[in-house]
Structure 1
């Protein structure tokens, strides 16, 4: 069953919502009365298989082995470009 919840309430009650979603409940999150997101339980088919998981871990290991570079000065506005 799908229930509607405002973004404000979803923000306030996030932990409770996660518990209900993990138990099978689905929520449509609304902003100003319009649907903007859906919270649904993850099914077994959506969980990565062992091969995919192994490849992701291998990629992360490769990235961690790369030398660090100083990116220069980063400002808050850089996140919006």
Structure 2
């Protein structure tokens, strides 16, 4: 979830906010309570990389299969009739 920061606070804390964006956080800057700008990281976010790694682990587990009651269960057996 993006962090909301007033324009005045963004001005005072720019280095800190910039560092948060570098770490992958999106910061929305508001003026009088209304969003006026968005500071986002350039390129891939760390969260994107973590999500990609999680998908890779899940797919590897599905390829390998899971033991259920002595039988192997894998993705292909879902379609066996």
Distance 1:3 1:19 in 2: 13
What are the residue-to-residue correspondences of 1:23-38 with 2, within 5 Å? 23-38=23-38
4+ long deviations beyond 2 Å: none
Pair 1:40-2:40 in alignment: yes
Distance 1:28 1:17 in 2: 10
Alignment of 1:42-61 (within 5 A): 42-43=42-43
The residue that corresponds to 1:17 in the other structure is: 17
Give unmatched runs, 5+ long, in structure 1: 45-81
Instruction: Give secondary structure in 1 for the equivalent of 2:30.
Output: strand
SS in 2 for 1:36: strand
Name the one with the larger strand percent: 2
SS at the partner of 2:41? coil
Distance 1:15 1:3 in 2: 15
Q: Per the alignment, in what secondary structure is the counterpart of residue 5 of structure 1?
A: strand
- Structure 2 unaligned segments of length 5 or more: list them: 45-81
Number of residue pairs matched by the alignment: 44
- When normalised by structure 2's length, the TM-score is 0.52
2-side partners of 1:2 and 1:35: how far apart? Answer: 11
